[in-house]
Amino acid sequence: MSVLFFLSSGLFLGWSHGANNAGNVFGTAIGSKMVKFRTAAVIAGIFMILGSAISGAGASQTLGRLGSVNEIAGAFMVALAAAVSLLMMTRFNIPVSTSQTIVGSIIGWNFFSGSLTDYESLMKIVSSWLVAPLASAVLAVALYIFFRFLLTRFKIHLLQLDMYTRIGLIAVGAFGSYSLGANNIANVMGVFVPVAPFRPIDIIAGILTSRDQLFILGGMAMAAGVLTYSYKVMKTVGQSIIPLTPITALVAVLSSSTVLFLFSSQDLELLLASHGLPSIPLVPVSSSQAVVGAIIGIGLFQGGREMNFKLLGKIASGWVTAPVMACIISFVSLFIIQNVFSQPVYRDVKYSITSAAAQKLHDEGITFSTMDNLVELEFRNAAEFKYALKRYAPELESGTIMRVIRLSQIHPFTVNDSIVSFEIGQNVFSEGQVMALHTLNGKKYRHVWQFADDLASAGDEWKTKPDIPANRPHNNYIRIRIDYLAGKFSGMR
């Protein structure tokens, strides 16, 4: 029951996300009376659930790297702070999205818990906020020119065009809802991934991991938002943005949905990477801003008359104000819930360069003259450890520092395969993996990477492959299972 209570803020975030953002996908179709609300709501609901369950993982990994909230009460507060800031920004009529508030909220948690913010992921996310509306605008103009060419080239009867546009709006709406689910489920449920207490379930089609279950639940919350509360928003979006013809509406939704899809498709990332092309970062972006970007693109192409440049300024200001506000709200509310309600909002993660870690660092060629002074010293959190490293080894580059920190993370546990007998019964692990795990029974570990190394040498099925995009799904599969086992053995799950 308490699990459901703590998840409620995420579900609330999902619900309001569904209610608010379905308008971006189906608003114009509903506003122009081309599609009935009920049809739109059912399609949006179904495809949001599918999108979050099937393709939700990509964007959530980037968000997970930004900061890994490790206590459920903390996750509750982070999601709630994001939802509250979203509500407040909406009050000021600034079109921000969950993507912006959740990032600020997570950084608030990082500050509060002394965890490190991965600036590489942060830069990736922030730059994509800028790129997404721009890409959407460019794509919208290209599609607009293409559609105009088609309409002049092929003489289509007004009624047939109307029918194709309706079919198009429904198809694009379904695609848009799928992309919305895939890209934004990370915002809604991402923070709960490391702390979700669900056990894996074996269904006919495969294993539903705890993350899958969480995403399906989040998708359902979004769908509920669409069904119960999106009518007014859809009406408003359809009528308040500059009057669009059904064709321009189709172009706007198609381009923004495509952009959302590009920023969440792992398959596309693989495809691009396997051809040596630069891949698109998988990050949660804002659907509202993508739609506005598309409309502005078409507006500029048509001559830029009646352009609302004030709105542009407001959007840009939202990129800064929304995360900052969410960060402050998150920090303050974490403080309150910890000190007033005595709920643990983060679990201390200690750091120490143990002798094993020192050996591993040496093997990897990472050495520094003052390492001996730090060996076996214990640090309370990552921020403190980083500070010490910077002081004792100023010559280390930031990438190396991150590696040292990662290898020095303390996570003590003892392997006991009877704890995971349920999962073994559910076929979460392969036969070879179970056998390898069995050989390590009773062994004590201080670092997760030691456990991963031992598993890899005990059985080939635990081995990761070289880190190239094509191998990422396999490596992720291994990593998720090792993290799950380590969590189980240490009693964190």
Partner 1 sequence: MFSIFKATKDLVMKIDSFIDLVSESVLHFEEGLKLYIAGKEAEFNERLDIIRRVEARADDLRRDIEAQLYVQTLIPESRGDVLELLEDMDDIIDFSKSIMFDFCVEKPVIPAELHDRFIRLAATAVDSTQALVQSTRSFFYDVNTVKDHLHKVKFFENESDHISEKAKRELFALDIDLSRKLHLKTFIVSIDAVSDTAEDISNRLSIATMKRIV
Which residues in this chain contact partner 1 in the complex, by CB under 8 A? 32-34, 147-148, 151-152, 155-160, 162-163, 167, 245-248
Integer Cα distance of 493 and 484 in angstroms: 8
Integer Cα distance of 270 and 258 in angstroms: 17
Minimum distance from residue 163 beta carbon to partner 1 (Å): 5
Integer Cα distance of 471 and 490 in angstroms: 29
Minimum distance from residue 248 beta carbon to partner 1 (Å): 7
- Complex with partner 1: residue 100 or 248, whichever CB lies closer: 248
Is there a contact between 3 and 72 (Cβ–Cβ < 8 Å)? yes
Q: Residues near 38 by Cβ (< 8 Å), separated by ≥ 6?
A: none
Minimum distance from residue 170 beta carbon to partner 1 (Å): 11
Minimum distance from residue 161 beta carbon to partner 1 (Å): 9
- Complex with partner 1: residue 156 or 268, whichever CB lies closer: 156
Minimum distance from residue 151 beta carbon to partner 1 (Å): 6
- Complex with partner 1: residue 130 or 163, whichever CB lies closer: 163
Is there a contact between 69 and 109 (Cβ–Cβ < 8 Å)? yes
DSSP sequence for 98-153? HHHHHHHHHHHHHHHHTPPP-HHHHHHHHHHHHHHHHHHHHHHHHHHHHHHHHHHH
Integer Cα distance of 418 and 424 in angstroms: 9
Minimum distance from residue 290 beta carbon to partner 1 (Å): 21
- Complex with partner 1: residue 5 or 149, whichever CB lies closer: 149
- Complex with partner 1: residue 1 or 159, whichever CB lies closer: 159
Query: CA 44, 49, 50, 52: dihedral to nearest 10 degrees?
Result: 120
Minimum distance from residue 46 beta carbon to partner 1 (Å): 17
Minimum distance from residue 160 beta carbon to partner 1 (Å): 6
- Complex with partner 1: residue 245 or 441, whichever CB lies closer: 245
Minimum distance from residue 245 beta carbon to partner 1 (Å): 6
Minimum distance from residue 167 beta carbon to partner 1 (Å): 8
The HSE-up count of residue 205 (CA atoms within 13 Å, CB side) is: 4
- Complex with partner 1: residue 33 or 38, whichever CB lies closer: 33
- Complex with partner 1: residue 2 or 152, whichever CB lies closer: 152
- Complex with partner 1: residue 247 or 327, whichever CB lies closer: 247
- Complex with partner 1: residue 130 or 171, whichever CB lies closer: 171
- Complex with partner 1: residue 59 or 296, whichever CB lies closer: 296
DSSP sequence for 442-489? T-EES-HHHHHHHHHHH-GGG----SSGGGHHHHHHHHHHHHHHHHHH
DSSP-derived secondary structure letter, 202: E
**H or E, element range at 228:** helix 210-240
First-last CA distance in the chain: 16
3-state secondary structure of 304: coil
The HSE-up count of residue 56 (CA atoms within 13 Å, CB side) is: 29
Query: CA 464, 467, 472, 478: dihedral to nearest 10 degrees?
Result: 20
3-state secondary structure of 339: helix
Token pair for residue 320?
A: 């800064």
